[in-house]
Structure formats: C-alpha cells, structure tokens
Structure 1
Amino acid sequence: MASTERSLARRRLLTATAALSGAALLGGAGAAHAAGVRGTAWPAAFPLPDGFQPEGITIGSRPHAYLGSLANGDVHRVSLATGRGSLAVKGLGEGHPTVGLKIDRHHRLFLAGGPSGEIRVADARTGETEQVHATGGVFVNDVILTPGAAWFTDSFAPRLYKLVLGRHGTPQALETVPLSGDWVQGDEFTANGIERTPDGRALLVVDTVADGGGLMRVDPATGVARAVDLGPARLPNGDGLLLLGRILYAVQQRQNAIDVFRLNAAGTRGTAIARITDPRFRIPTTAAAWGDRLYLPNARFDVDPTPATDYDVVAVDRV
C-alpha cells in the first residue's frame, strides 16, 4: 500500500474506534437537529465530482466554497448560490493530497498536504500553485490564518508549522513550533483541527488523545499547551474547528455530529450548548460558514473510495 493510502486508511481506522464513546460523553448539552435551512433559496446540498474524496472546506469573502481532494490534491470551487462547481486548482497528483485549506482576502489558498508533508500556496484566481514548502512532517492536516502567519497541525508529531506572512499576506519563512505543556501525543493520529481563541491571543488545537479527546489552548510564541476546560464533553473524533464570535463548532466526524461550545474570551473554558445532527451527514469532517449556514463536506471514511464513489456538501443552520 502506498504511503498516502496507508496514512489515510490508518486515520479511518483510528477514528472508528472512538465513535460510540464520544456521543455519551457529551452529557446533557442538549441537541439541535438541522431540519432545514432558513432564510434562503440557495441549495442546502450540492454534489462533488465522483471519486473526489473531500476533506477540507473554506469560504472567503464571496459566496464560493473551496474544497480539497484527498485523491490528487485538486481544489474544487462551488457557487453557494447555484451548487455548480469547477476545478479551481489542479493538484500535484496522487501522493500529494489536499487536506485542510483556507483562503485569505487576496484570494490566496493555503493547502495542507497530509502525508506528503507539504504546505502549498495557490492562487485561487489563476489556479497556479505558487509555493511548495517541505515541512519534513508526517501528516500536515489543518490550517488557520492569523494576521501574521498561517498555522498548520501535524497529526503524527507534537508540533505546529508556522508559515510567516509578510506584507499583504505574502508567505515567507517556514518555522516549526514544538508543542509542550499539557500536550499528549499518541502513537498514532493525534492533532487535528485548529482555530484561534476569541481574543485572538492563542491557538486552539484538537488533541484526540488527551483525556479521551479534548481541546488545547496553545501559546503561539512558545508552543506551550494547556487543556481547555470543556466540562464532561470530549472530542475523540474531533476534526475541523470553526469559531464564530465565542461560539466554537467542533466537527465530530465519525459521530456524524457537530458539538457546539460557548467559550470565554481567552479560550480557557468552554460550555457545551448544543449538538447538531442531520440524516444527510455521512462522516463530515470540516465546516465553513456563510450567512446563517454551515457547510460541511461528507468525507465518507466508512467506505473504500473508488473513482465512482459519490460525495457531496451539505448545509445546516448555525446555532
């Protein structure tokens, strides 16, 4: 089995083992079932190309979603108004997947390369891949943009990658920031989604191993991690994170759910306030927002992907 297939297959196996326990651990947070999307005639679901194998999604300042392919690294752009899409960035081929991705206000896409160990930067307007950075990492998973950097997680090593951004967000030097403090590194898949704290002073990173699965607040200057107090809630299947104000959405992929927390400003404490579920979920991995909706790609990690496997994106109401 090729290294890319081995790493992705191992991810599917690891997330499957914790699926049932996480739902019980959420406790009495309540549930919010998405029974339709309010206030718009835009499609509440749209298809992706067969065999695409989506994982990450990002939406910028315009109503277009960008999704990355685990199969070959392609980036697909879809109009939220019509559900129609097309190729935005041609990937580098098998062995160079696109896992997490974010777009900035300059239409620049930051792409996490999974087991290739790459960080790639592409122009969403021209489709050109402008930069490829070799991290030497094992599985570059997800990314968040801050005013001075793009931060990436590595799921198999206790470190973050910091791509320093200069004037106008131009990518410059790549740095490695080791994780310490409360960080617990498992033998297998550990770090996943990444966000900023509401006050913008620190980073939030999913640690699927620590205390049965939790959230870490990381000092970006030192890499020191401190566990976020989420009460009885756990994130054993925690994948993508999305922060809107003080509301944090944590996608629990194998549980087909989004757990919703209200954080304090510093991001040291969170209270579970809702769980979003939907019968259309087929192992969603990440979320992006437009208006009163969240958009999530269904990764379908419970099936063996083929060129004919169907994939889609579904929209649900925000809390």
Structure 2
Amino acid sequence: MHRPLARRGFLGAAVALGAAALTGPLAAGAAHAAAPGGPWPTGFPLPDGFQPEGIAIGHSPYAYFGSLRDGAVYRVSLATGTGRIVHQGLGPDKATVGLKIDRAERRLFLAGGWSREIRVVDARSGALQRHFTGLGADNTMVNDVVLTPGAAWFTDSFQPQLYRLALDRTGEPGDAITTVPLGGDWVQGADFTANGIERTPDGRALLVVNCAKGGGSLMRVDPRTGTARTVDLGGLEIPNGDGLLLLGRDLYIVQQQKNQIDVVRLDATGARGTAIARITDPERFRIPTTAAAWGDRIYLPNARFDVDPKPETTYDAVSVPRV
C-alpha cells in the first residue's frame, strides 16, 4: 500500500483478569477450518495474508472480518471456526477497516480507510449496495463505524469530524453522507486522532476514542451538534485505544499495542466510568484491534501490526471470557 494502514496500530493461554482498581485476492468460497469435534473453538485461523482489523457479529453465531489488504470480508462460523470470503473487496488501497452488521443481518457497513470511502455490502451475497467516495480531505482515513437506530456513524482519524449515513425505519441506507464537525473538548492531534466509536448506554450520544488528548481519552459526542466532552474515567488513560464494545453499561476498550482490554463500567449517560477489569492474554494476544461478543465470550482479530505483512503471513482471531 502507498500509505500502510499499519500506522493505525502504532499510532493509535490463560486469561488474566486484572484488579478492578487498575492502579497501575482470495478466491470466493475459499475455506479454512478448525479441528473437527469438541467444544466451540476459542480461537481460529484467518486466511494467510488477510491483514484483519475490524470484526462484526450479529444475532447469529458468525463473525465477519474486514481486510486491510484489499477490503475483502471473511465470514466465520463461531461453532466450527470454518470460514469463507463473502465479499471480494475492491482491490489494493481499498481497505476495509471497521465494519458492522445491521440487526436484520442483511447489510454490512464498511469503513474504507485511506480510500476515503464508505461502502454498504449485502451480508449474504457480498454485492456492493452503496458506495460513497471522496470523503473528507486528502489525508482522511475513514476508520470505524457504529450503528444507531437512525444512522451509521463513522470516524475520521485525521479530520475533526464524523460521517453520518442516515438509515430509514427498515435500516435501508440513504443516498448521501452528512459531515458532522467535532467541537467542545475535542482536541485534534497533529497526526492520528479519532479511532473507535460506540453508543452511550442510554443511546443518546456517541463515544469516540481520542488518541491525542490527555494521553488517550474517551469523548462523549452529541450527535446533533458534534460537541464533545471528555468522559471521566477516573484517571485511566487509553493511549492505544482502538475498538470499543458496549455490553449493557460495560465498555470494553481494546488497547491494541498494549495487548490488553480495559473494561469500564459507565453511568447511563456515558459521562463517567469506573475501571473494573483488565483482560490480558500474553500467549495469544498479538495486537488485537477490535472486539465483538457472542454469548459469554469476546472475539478479537489479531492484526499483528508489529510484522511486515506478506502473502504468507499468518493471522488468527481469539476469544476471551466476558467480564
């Protein structure tokens, strides 16, 4: 790639649960399978050279992974670890970074990274349904996405703004992208700034990782105005904060270069949070970037940003117990 997406990672076994205080082009249909028999796998391989980053899981036990290499989407059965490519992607420099699947499990919403694109793909056929190009500025990186009842929201890691794609009552996306500038407490760094995005527990605002402010902060953003306020995390810094996953009022913050997940219990509004746990797995975490849940487990792709990606580079996804 002309602008390697791995910089997102550098900028931006037994499972050990830390103390609560925390003081300190693949062919379509190409399949990879886990070992047959036994319980559901707690980890499984992804295609060699795939360069995974984002993950999405809907109501069914299947995980979807996006490729930084060419934008392909790989679908895996959580029961067996067997997977296949369901969307071929658009080729080099057309990455898929963050992705989400809608409640009906009909559509995948893809953040296109340096390509400055947003794409909507049929989750079953892989067909491209919507394709928005030319977003932001020359150095825009469309990074991550969250779905709300009325919109899909995307972060831009190099511009102080979010992108909003309206959804109707059936979840059908609109035909235009709205840009929402970020203000208030938002601090735009000289380089990579915004990363993961989620909803607050009450659903009234958005939560966005800001890698530049205060050593790494979580921001609560009013979706109507773009006004951002710093979430009080009781001194917890998230310098490598990446993907966010909200389960009830527990927010899982993946800190990829630190190979850990910090778990914060939020108030209903998302204005304050208390660190309650830290998940590490030194044997299996290899720079995990994003998280999604199924049942009592959290699944994460290992992006391996510490290696030079090659066609033969191996990748995998792992899972850990939910707190």
Provide the TM-score with structure 2 as the length reference. Answer: 0.90
Q: Secondary structure at the match of 1:212?
A: coil
* CA–CA separation in structure 1 for the residues paired with 2:148 and 2:307: 35
* Equivalent residue runs for 1:87-236 within 5 Å: 87-106=85-104, 107-137=106-136, 138-172=140-174, 173-236=176-239
Deviation at 1:13, TM superposition (A): 3.7
Deviation at 1:30, TM superposition (A): 7.1
Contact kept, 8 Å, 1:74 with 1:89, in 2: the verdict is yes
* CA–CA separation in structure 2 for the residues paired with 1:224 and 1:77: 36
Q: Secondary structure at the match of 1:216?
A: strand
Name the residue aligned to 1:76: 74
* CA–CA separation in structure 2 for the residues paired with 1:73 and 1:291: 28
Contact kept, 8 Å, 2:120 with 2:128, in 1: the verdict is yes
Residue type of the partner of 1:264?
D
Same amino acid, percent of matched pairs:
67
Whichever structure has more helix as a proportion of its residues is: 1
Task: String of CA shifts for 1:29-58, please: whole Å, max 9, x gaps.
Answer: 279xxxxxxxx9200000000000000000
Contact kept, 8 Å, 1:181 with 1:224, in 2: the verdict is yes
Task: String of CA shifts for 1:122-165, please: whole Å, max 9, x gaps.
Answer: 00111101111125231000000000000000000000000001
Contact kept, 8 Å, 1:119 with 1:135, in 2: the verdict is no
Deviation at 1:232, TM superposition (A): 1.3
Contact kept, 8 Å, 1:59 with 1:290, in 2: the verdict is yes
Deviation at 1:27, TM superposition (A): 9.3
Name the residue aligned to 2:245: 242
Name the residue aligned to 2:287: 283
* CA–CA separation in structure 2 for the residues paired with 1:28 and 1:147: 34
* CA–CA separation in structure 1 for the residues paired with 2:310 and 2:47: 12
What is the root-mean-square deviation of aligned Cα atoms in Å? 1.5
Name the residue aligned to 2:7: 10
Q: Secondary structure at the match of 1:199?
A: coil
Name the residue aligned to 2:34: none
* CA–CA separation in structure 1 for the residues paired with 2:154 and 2:170: 20
Deviation at 1:302, TM superposition (A): 0.4
Structure 1, unaligned stretches of length 5 or more?
16-25, 32-39
* CA–CA separation in structure 2 for the residues paired with 1:167 and 1:265: 25
* CA–CA separation in structure 2 for the residues paired with 1:30 and 1:84: 40
Alignment partner of 1:309 out of 310, 313, 316: 313
Moved more, 135-144 or 117-126: 135-144
Structure 2, unaligned stretches of length 5 or more?
13-18, 25-37
Name the residue aligned to 1:253: 256
Q: List structure 1 runs of 4+ shifted beyond 4 angstroms.
A: none
Q: Secondary structure at the match of 1:4?
A: coil
Alignment partner of 2:61 out of 51, 63, 84: 63
Contact kept, 8 Å, 2:201 with 2:268, in 1: the verdict is yes
Q: How many residues align?
A: 298
* CA–CA separation in structure 2 for the residues paired with 1:116 and 1:83: 30
Alignment partner of 1:269 out of 268, 272, 276: 272
